[in-house]
């Protein structure tokens, strides 16, 4: 009786490992196609052939299909009935639309994070805010990466899984936007937000988080109206 049960458990473990490999492969393929789109290597309007991508990247067509479905949800590609999947246009309208959603979600995340942020979290966020400023002053692209992690950390502190999942779409579109505002202003806004989290002021935290994103959106809109804005991939 033990032998069949053992074989079943072993088979189950093999199935789980296989599922894990498929998920990892899908994420790797999704990230590679995403990189090509955001970097401009793959152009807006270009058709994405599942068969060609599968052959080039050395994976099954099903893996490519699932990756493209994720990218469709993230707003980077669009599916046209009976024609295929195409790279979508990434412009200021799309990006500012994502920022409107981000404003609401990050405001909610900051409100919820107040009750979960511990001393270590606060110290980490302050350290990140200062590093963002230092890297931006040095014109180091790492500033953008740290900035994304700063906001992601607050979203994760919300402890709301639905909110964390929903944030994925605007975070991806944010990879096409560089910080255009004064680093000192950004650091001040970040540190004021951290203070609100530390003192458990949910209304203030939400207000500050929303204002921070709103100001970034208004900067993009102003630059676009002057013909100075163009999406630019930020690694």
Do residues 141 and 186 make contact, with C-beta atoms less than 8 angstroms apart? no
Q: What's domain 92-225's architecture?
A: Up-down Bundle (1.20)
Q: Which CATH class is domain 2-87?
A: mainly alpha
User: Which residue ranges does the chain devote to CATH 1.10.10.10?
Assistant: 2-87
- What digits encode the pLDDT tens for the residues 146-196? 999 999 999 999 999 999 998 987 888 777 777 678 999 999 999 999 999
User: Which residue ranges does the chain devote to CATH 1.20.120.530?
Assistant: 92-225
- What digits encode the pLDDT tens for the residues 91-137? 888 888 989 999 999 999 999 999 999 999 999 999 999 999 999 99
Q: Quote the CA–CA distance of 44 and 37 in Å, as a whole number.
A: 8
Q: Phi-psi region for residue 201, left (φ > 0), alpha (ψ -120 to 50) or beta?
A: beta
């Amino acid at each position: 009786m033990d032998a069949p049960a053992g074989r079943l458990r072993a088979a189950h473990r093999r199935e789980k490992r296989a599922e894990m490999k498929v998920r990892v492969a899908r994420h790797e393929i999704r990230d590679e196609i995403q990189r090509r789109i955001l970097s401009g290597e793959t152009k807006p309007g270009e058709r994405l052939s599942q068969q060609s991508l599968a052959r080039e990247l050395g994976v099954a067509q099903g893996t490519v299909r699932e990756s493209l479905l994720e990218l469709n949800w993230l707003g980077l590609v669009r599916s046209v009935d009976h024609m295929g999947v195409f790279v979508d246009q990434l412009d200021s309208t799309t990006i500012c639309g994502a920022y409107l959603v981000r404003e609401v979600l990050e405001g909610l995340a900051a409100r919820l994070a107040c009750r979960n942020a511990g001393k270590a979290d606060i110290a980490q966020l302050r350290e990140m805010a200062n590093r963002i400023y230092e890297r931006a002053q040095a014109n180091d692209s790492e500033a953008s990466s740290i900035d994304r992690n700063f906001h992601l950390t607050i979203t994760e502190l919300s402890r709301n899984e639905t909110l964390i999942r929903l944030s994925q779409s605007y975070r991806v579109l944010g990879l096409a936007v560089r910080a255009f505002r004064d680093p000192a202003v950004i650091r001040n806004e970040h540190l004021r937000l951290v203070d609100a989290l530390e003192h458990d002021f949910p209304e203030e935290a939400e207000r500050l988080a929303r204002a921070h994103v709103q100001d970034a959106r208004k900067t993009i809109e102003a630059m676009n109206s002057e013909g100075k804005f163009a999406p630019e991939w930020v690694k």
